[in-house]
Amino acid sequence: MRTQVAIVGAGPAGLLLSHLLARAGIESVVLEARSRAYVEQRVRAGVLEHPTVELLREVGLAERLDREGMPHEGISLRFEGGDHRIDFAGLVGKGITVYGQQEVVKDLIAARLADGGDIRFEVSGVVVEGIEGDAPVIGFVDGDGQRQELRCDVVAGCDGFHGICRGAFTPQVFDREYPYAWLGILAKAAPTHHELVYASHANGFALYSMRSPEITRLYLQVPPETDAGAWSDAQIWDELGTRLTAEGFTLNEGPLIEKGVTGMRSFVAEPMRHGRLFLAGDAAHIVPPTGAKGMNLAIADVRVLAEALTDLLVHGDERGVDRYSDTCLRRVWRAEHFSWWMTSMLHVAPHGDPFDRRLQLSQLRYTVASRAAATSLAENYVGLPHAALDGGLRT
């Protein structure tokens, strides 16, 4: 087989890249290890930044998002028993939209297949070769068990943190694991609060969010070694009630649809390019979920990559691909810092150092009392404009 761009991974990054390339007249093949049903159902992030929503609208992928997404104009920081709203709309004139990552994936798959896009699900044994030259080759076993060979001009590694593409070269790695994790639940219970609540409590952090008018998504800070099965439903609801308590706030309880523990880490691989291989999304970087940046960073990566590959493959201009890694890493490190800052401010240290706790409370009080501090939080949370950190891709 032959294509221009071989894309490994059918998550938001890989699928959106395929869509953007198709709009520029560039062919691609997407290879995915899981089944279509699996990738369309796995629950991941749910917060879309303002620039992400604008991009999806611009490229014709926001019809269902605009109909079913839940726009939010702020969040609440809850501590010392009080609720303090950060008014995104009032501070920076923008907001976010709650719309599950799996819904974005469904929209992207439907759009690619409707346009005749080539997505190969349930492939295995992927091997990437020849990336130092101008004719890479990907070997894989297709869903029927047949060994295949895909020749291409460029490989895009959008296959996540545990994928194979990053292992095709040896980037420098920056890594930090946090001493806590999130016990997350998806509950069939109508939300009682119209925006996300970030709660800092002496028992640990808690997050109140939602996925739809009927489904809530909630998290508790727990030790990394926690077994989700060791927590009964009653224990989870009781602890959520304790950490989220505030005057006038009620917590709807309901049957749990999903329960699991997610570790927290920061990770960056530099550079994000080696020869004709380009990493994007979780294959290149991971952020703790506190800042709601993971999927948004992946989408920002492929926006830059699609433009750079269009210049390369259509116009023979290599300047964009030469700057791809540096351009993306400016945004990545800004998001890494913001996510680390939010995580550090809201999570209780495992050994409960009273000095650290007082520093956290001081930072929280300052953030909600200072317009400048609240504006900085709002600006970063809703997403910095793409041009603000790109440095002018075509200059």
DSSP structural state of residue 2: B
Q: How confident is the model at residue 394 (pLDDT cuts 50, 70, 90)?
A: very low
**271 cis-preceded (ω within 30 degrees of 0):** yes
| DSSP three-state, residue 242 | helix
**Interacting residues of 267 by C-beta distance below 8 A, sequence separation 6+:** 161, 173, 174, 175, 176, 285, 286
- CA dist., res. 140 & res. 124, Å (int): 6
Other C-beta atoms closer than 10 Å to the C-beta of 26 total 21
- CA dist., res. 381 & res. 390, Å (int): 18
What's the CATH fold of domain 175-264?
A: D-Amino Acid Oxidase; Chain A, domain 2 (3.30.9)
Q: What is the mean pLDDT of residues 171-193?
A: 95
pLDDT in tens, 135-147: 999 999 999 999 9
Closest CA to 390 of 296, 303, 273, 313: 303
- CA dist., res. 119 & res. 17, Å (int): 12
Check if the beta carbon of residue 307 is closer than 8 Å to that of residue 200: no
Tokens of 107: 């929209």
Closest CA to 121 of 7, 20, 284: 7
pLDDT in tens, 200-237: 999 999 999 998 899 999 999 999 999 999 999 999 99
Closest CA to 181 of 285, 263, 68: 263
- CA dist., res. 119 & res. 153, Å (int): 18
Q: What is the largest CA-CA distance in the chain?
A: 63
Q: What is the mean pLDDT of residues 11-22?
A: 98
Predicted confidence at residue 43, as pLDDT, reads: 75
Rg of the chain over Cα atoms, rounded to whole angstroms, equals 21
Residue 356: φ, ψ to 5°: -60, -40
**Pick from 155-164, 274-283, 381-390: least confident:** 381-390
Judged against a pLDDT cut of 90, whether residue 350 lies above it is answered with no
Judged against a pLDDT cut of 60, whether residue 393 lies above it is answered with no
Distances (CA, A) of 370 to 77, 91, 342, 364, 373: 14, 12, 16, 10, 5
- CA dist., res. 280 & res. 58, Å (int): 21
Domain ranges of the chain: 5-46+100-171+271-347, 175-264
**Pick from 18-22, 39-43, 118-122, 318-322: least confident:** 39-43
pLDDT cut 90: percent of the chain above it: 92
Closest CA to 339 of 296, 308, 388, 275: 296
- CA dist., res. 382 & res. 376, Å (int): 10
Q: ∠ CA 250-94-304 to the nearest 5 degrees?
A: 120
Judged against a pLDDT cut of 50, whether residue 248 lies above it is answered with yes
Predicted confidence at residue 386, as pLDDT, reads: 79
What's the one-letter identity of residue 235? Answer: Q
Task: State the number of CA atoms in the 13 A half-sphere of 24 facing the CB.
Answer: 22
Residue 246: φ, ψ to 5°: -165, 155
- Residues with catalytic function: 72, 198, 289, 293, 381
Predicted confidence at residue 78, as pLDDT, reads: 97
- CA dist., res. 269 & res. 282, Å (int): 10
C-alpha dihedral (312, 300, 104, 190), degrees to nearest 10? 180
Other C-beta atoms closer than 10 Å to the C-beta of 98 total 21
Domain 5-46+100-171+271-347 of CATH type 3.30.10.20? no
The dihedral built from the CA positions of residue 115, 150, 286 and 337, taken in this order, carries a sign that is negative
C-alpha dihedral (342, 372, 384, 110), degrees to nearest 10? 60
User: How far does the chain reach from its first CA to its final CA, in angstroms?
Assistant: 36
Predicted confidence at residue 395, as pLDDT, reads: 32
Q: What is the mean pLDDT of residues 350-365?
A: 92
Indicate the average pLDDT of the chain: 95
